[in-house]
Amino acid sequence: MATKNKLKNRVMNEEESLILRESQELYELKVKLHKMLKEIIIKTGLGEVEDGYVDDLNLDVGGCSIYSCGYYQQLMLVDEDGVENEFDNDLESVRYLYKEIKKRLAEYDKIIKNKSQKTAVRVFEKALKIKFEIERLEDG
């Protein structure tokens, strides 16, 4: 009987450990996602960062609107039909959103980098139209 209780306690500890790991992953992903959303808003001018201590963000992505609160760690998506979906405890959805937003940010950064380099080359490769006057000193 004592062995069964020890086994039961060990299984419960493993389940608790899994719950703890998933809770930690959910928290970390929401923090990373919030930072990425803020970066996107700042870089692109899309979306908005609301004033105040709660650090609210709103960004439209793919026909949906993502709301993230940095202070309270809330995450919500309003879909095309106006239905609000809260992801406060939905690890799978947060994983998906994080991966998708990260992929789109990388794609945006690559496009901007390439355009920026092409634009820089186009601007700076133009010939300079300057005449240099060289003064020669004559030996005395």
Per residue in 16-73, pLDDT tens? 899 999 999 999 999 999 999 999 999 999 999 998 888 999 999 999 999 999 999 9
First to last CA, the chain: 114
Q: How many C-alpha atoms does 120 have within 13 Å on its Cβ side?
A: 6
pLDDT at 130: 80
